[in-house]
Amino acid sequence: MTLTPSDKALVPFVSVDHMMQLAHHIGLERMIVQMVDYLEQDFKRWALFDKTPRVASHSAEGVIELMPTSDGEVYGFKYVNGHPKNTKEGLQTVTAFGLLADVYTGYPVLLTEMTLLTAIRTAATSAMAAKYLAPKSAKTMAMIGNGAQSEFQCLAMKAVCGIEEVRFYDIDKNATAKAARNLSSSGLRVVSCSSAQEAIEGAQIITTCTADKQYATILTDNMIGSGVHINAIGGDCPGKTELHKDILLRSDIFVEFPPQTRIEGELQQLAEDHPVTELWQVIAGEAKGRVSGEQITLFDSVGFAIEDFSALRLVREAIKGTEYFMTLDLLADPDDPRDLFGMFTRAAS
């Protein structure tokens, strides 16, 4: 049955299964390209969004976060966790779900899984940043940290930036083998490496996407030559970073929302007033991205609510006229809006 999300009291819900079917139906790389388009639209109208650093609840094991924003017409939020120890227990490091609501009525208009969608939106955001910041001639990327996000990151760089070769490294050889296997027929040339140093050889784009709740040093200063673009995704929490501070001091740093990145990103290692460029300014043509072949550009990615908002907008449009959602009886809908109690008592019979 083909459904159309129309009845305001019934909320379209996209399950994990439906999200997978939707992504296969559109085609993953095509969906990533579409996502970049939605992201660029929203980054260009950055000023009109409600913006706040995400609301984080930290524990010894991880973090649970709420990421809200609104463009004045639609409100969105994502619930997301980050628990690096989870994979040892057969659970994922990151899981998520999210919601869009109509600002005029306050009624939800979409509820969806966002674990898969976060991987797609994070990959699309990385590729969008690289489109503006990486050397135009980039054909090779290093992918350090070969967990849940990694294959999506590589396919996004292929689809958006024309990357042809990916060089994988992870401290866990099984993770590298898994990623290499998953991308064996992707059209990318896949090279498995035994150190981060080996992985970055010849790479113009270096993506770090490791999960460890500590100040880690995945890349040291002597490893980084001039002219590369670094896409640092894994350091996204207070006390959790991936790059040696000296790399930051040699790089031009681009961020999503400075008040959040200064708390959560690689930036937490630098002075509070260290100069950064907001990525939206580059995309809107208000600031320069890469200006020279020698420059080291660093996208200090932590993930921001507006990216999830773009992803939710895309899904809301994409499911229209399809079978890739069900409707949820999530909102009470009494015939007389003030007679909630009457609706409740009638339910007894």
Residue 130 one-letter amino acid: A
- Interaction mask 76-115, ligand NAD, x per CB under 6 A: ------x----x-----xx---------------------
Which 258-297 positions form the footprint of ligand NAD (CB under 6 A)? none
**What's 158-208 look like in SS3?**
HHHHCCCEEEEECCCHHHHHHHHHHCCCCCCEEEECCCHHHHCCCCCEEEE
Minimum CB separation of residue 199 from ligand NAD in Å reads 9
Taking the C-alpha atoms of residue 52 and residue 9, their distance in angstroms, rounded to an integer, is: 29
Contacts for 51 with CB less than 8 Å, ≥ 6 apart: 69, 257, 305, 306
- Interaction mask 183-222, ligand NAD, x per CB under 6 A: --------------------------xxxx---x-x----
Minimum CB separation of residue 162 from ligand NAD in Å reads 22
Minimum CB separation of residue 80 from ligand NAD in Å reads 8
Residue number with the shortest CB distance to ligand NAD? Answer: 147
Regarding 66 and contact with ligand NAD (CB under 6 A), the answer is no
Rounded alpha-carbon distances, angstroms, from residue 18 to 1, 113, 207? 14, 9, 29
Q: Which of 236, 308, 329, 333 is catalytic?
A: 236
Taking the C-alpha atoms of residue 290 and residue 293, their distance in angstroms, rounded to an integer, is: 8
Q: Which residues pair with 229 in a beta bridge?
A: 205, 297
Regarding 120 and contact with ligand NAD (CB under 6 A), the answer is no
H or E element at residue 87: none
Regarding 303 and contact with ligand NAD (CB under 6 A), the answer is yes
Q: What is the CA radius of gyration of the chain?
A: 21
Contacts for 102 with CB less than 8 Å, ≥ 6 apart: 73, 74, 75, 108, 109
Active site annotation includes 236 = yes
Q: Which of 17, 18, 24 is nearest to 5 (CA)?
A: 18
Minimum CB separation of residue 260 from ligand NAD in Å reads 11
Minimum CB separation of residue 2 from ligand NAD in Å reads 33
- Interaction mask 144-163, ligand NAD, x per CB under 6 A: xxxxxxx-------------
Nearer to ligand NAD, 28 or 233 (CB): 233
Please identify which residue in 69, 95, 122, 297 interacts with ligand NAD, judged by CB under 6 A: 122
Please identify which residue in 10, 33, 56, 171 interacts with ligand NAD, judged by CB under 6 A: 171
What residues line the site for ligand NAD (CB under 6 A)? Answer: 82, 87, 93-94, 118, 122, 144-150, 170-172, 175, 209-212, 216, 218, 233-234, 236, 301-303
